[in-house]
Amino acid sequence: MSAALAAEVLSLLVRRGATVAVAESLTGGLIGATLTTPSGASAAFRGGVIAYATELKAGLLDVPEDLLDREGAVHPEVASAMAAGVRRLTGATYGLAVTGVAGPDPQDGRPVGTVHIAVGGPDGRIWGRDVVLSGSREEIRKSTVREGLDLLRGVLEADVGEHSG
C-alpha cells in the first residue's frame, strides 16, 4: 500500500526529531498500519485512535459536540479537531486525522468519496485537504491513506525547508 511514502514520512519526522499520531475514522487503522510497516517506525510513530463512531470523536478526541451536531462527522472542521485532539492525547508533534465516507452509502448528507484530512502541528497550526475520491470502498480507503500521508509529507518538507541552513 503506501510503504515507500510511509518510509519517507518517517524519515522526515526522524530528521526533525518529531513524532506523529493518527486519528482515523473511515480508514479504520490503515494509516497506523501503513506507518508501522517500515522498520524503525517506533522512532517517530506515537500511536493512534480509531474513532469510527461519532461519539468517540467527541469523547476521545475532544471534537466539539455542537460541531458534530451541526455538521455531522464528515466535515473539514471535524478533521481539524481530530488532528488537534490526537496530538494532545498522545503528546505527538503532529497529528494526522481523516474523516469521510467510504461507502457504499452516503453519510450525514455527504456523498461517497467525500474525505477531509487534517494535519495538526506545533503552535496549533492546522493544514487541511478536502478530496472527493472514487472507486470501491477499499479503493477509497487506500486512496485516503495515500492522500493523508502525502499531506503530512508536504507539511514536513515545508517545515524542514523553513528550518534548514
DSSP 106: -
Helix, strand, coil distribution of the chain in percent, nearest 5? 50, 20, 30
For 117, phi then psi, to 5°, come to -125, 140
Collapsed DSSP state (helix, strand, coil) of residue 105: coil
In 3D space, the residue among 66, 13, 72, 58 whose CA is nearest the CA of residue 38 turns out to be: 13
What totals of helices (H) and strands (E) does the chain contain, helices first?
Answer: 6, 5
Report pTM: 0.95
Beta bridge partners of 20: 45, 94
**Per-residue pLDDT tens over the stretch 122-162:** 989 999 999 999 999 999 999 999 999 999 999 999 975 54
Q: Which residue has the higher pLDDT, 12 or 123?
A: 12
| pLDDT at residue 2, as a whole number | 84
The rounded percent of the chain whose pLDDT value lies above 70 is 96
Given pLDDT bands bounded at 50, 70 and 90, which one contains residue 4? very high
**Per-residue pLDDT tens over the stretch 89-114:** 999 999 999 999 999 999 989 999 99
Determine how β-strand 94-100 pairs with β-strand 126-132: unpaired
| pLDDT at residue 162, as a whole number | 46
Within 13 Å, how many C-alpha atoms sit on residue 5's CB side? 19
**What sections of the chain are H helices per DSSP?**
3-16, 30-35, 54-61, 65-71, 76-90, 137-163
Given pLDDT bands bounded at 50, 70 and 90, which one contains residue 163? very low
